[in-house]
A = this chain, B = another copy of it.
Amino acid sequence: MRQSRRPTLSDVAKRAGVGTTTVSRVINGGKLVDPVTLARVRRAIEALEYTPNQAARTLKGARTRAIGLLVPSIADPFFASCAESAQDVARRNDSLLTVLTTQNEPRLELESINVLIQHRTDGLIIAPGPSSDSALRQLLERAGVPAVAMDRPVPHSSIPYVVADNRAGATVACRHLIDHGYQRIACWTGEPALYTIRERIRGYRQSMKAAGLPLLIDDSIMDYSSAESAVRRLLADPAPPDAILTLKNSTTIYVFEALQNLGVAVPERVALLGYDDFELAAALQPSITTIQQPTAEIGRQAAELLFEYLEEYLEDIEERMAIRKPIRNIHLHTALIQRHSCGCR
């Protein structure tokens, strides 16, 4: 096997003329080792290009120094940004980040977690899909793998989570449109089963009710053609919306394209405000007002929370009596990015 070709700790020991214990001490900081011996061992390590075998360490009981990240898709800019910062935190904690995509499918979620358990990953970060059953929660709890939920909590579980404040974001969006004087504010989206979307819809509902405005919800916009149908319906409507709040990135883009292609003036005929900021929001005509999520921060904090729990875990081993810190959930703020599609300026 390839692995066995690599020099081992005892090869180094032999070459340096010392015991394996000494070499082990050297690669683990070199404390309690005579400076002369230390130098000799180091030279042997260099000469042999020795690298400790993580598998052997893990087998001895050390952590694997790898964490898992389960996201629906890594090509999605939102999760890509989360992943980037999570990888950063992992690196700072001398750990590897293993990425698994779940496509929001419960089967892939469970399968992926099992693979991670098999690899004895130290912990994992998961953005769970909208599954209704409790298999995910149960597996996570039974497995006893430290886990942190990201962007979406694991339903009915005590797994700590880091999410954006979706309801507040939607509320700010609604308030802004209301302040502009719009009376018929529609709420368009796809994937209504997702936690984030449900929360945003709730924020919309609350705001509309509080302002005494009608609820105009369409949660069937999943692609360009459904967006175009919705716009056509709007055009034929005797009492059409004067503003549209789109609850997710792709919906915003499809709706924008549909409005553009059907020649609907934005914001004159209908205003547009999109949940999720995107790179070209400022370059479109008109530029799109959005609710911006702290994507990198979500990934960063989720990873940091996980490593925090990991530390705690290790301490627990030593003093079983240690009191576990209370679950700490994190809600991050969103920002309203004012541009022109809402009627500003």
Question: Which residues of A pack against B, CB within 8 Å?
Answer: 1-6, 49, 51-56, 58-59, 61-62, 64-66, 73-77, 80-81, 83-84, 87-88, 91, 96-101, 114-120, 142-144, 253, 256-257, 260, 278-280, 282-285, 296, 313, 317
Contacts and interface: CB of A to CB of B under 8 A. Distances in A.
A278 B77 CA distance: 12
Given A59-B55, A80-B75, A253-B280, A98 B142 contact: no
A325 B317 CA distance: 50
A42 to B, nearest CB: 16
A43 to B, nearest CB: 17
6 contacts: A1-B317, A54-B55, A74-B74, A96-B119, A98-B98, A278-B280
How many identical chains are in the complex? 2
A98 B97 contact: yes
Contacts of A142: 49
Majority SS of interface residues in chain A?
A: helix
Given A96-B115, A98-B96, A3 B120 contact: yes
Give the most central of A56, A73, A280: most B CB within 10 Å: A280
Contact of A119 (B1, B54, B59, B278): B54
A283 to B, nearest CB: 5
B73 A84 contact: yes
A302 B185 CA distance: 48
A83 B99 contact: yes
Given A2-B313, A96-B119, 19 more contacts: A1-B61, A3-B120, A4-B61, A49-B142, A51-B118, A53-B59, A53-B118, A55-B58, A55-B64, A59-B59, A65-B119, A66-B98, A73-B84, A75-B80, A77-B80, A83-B99, A96-B116, A278-B280, A283-B284
Nearest to A299: B75
Contacts of A118: 51-54
A246 to B, nearest CB: 14
Contacts of A77: 75, 77, 80
Given A49-B142, A98-B96, A66 B317 contact: no
Given A73-B84, A99-B87, A114-B51, A253 B283 contact: yes
Which 6 residue pairs spanning A and B have beta carbons closest together? A55-B58, A1-B61, A75-B84, A80-B80, A280-B280, A55-B55
Contacts of A55: 54-56, 58-59, 64, 119-120
A167 to B, nearest CB: 27
B99 A317 contact: no
A99 B101 contact: no
Nearest to A59: B55
Nearest to A119: B54
A231 to B, nearest CB: 14
Contacts of A317: 1-2
Nearest to A5: B144
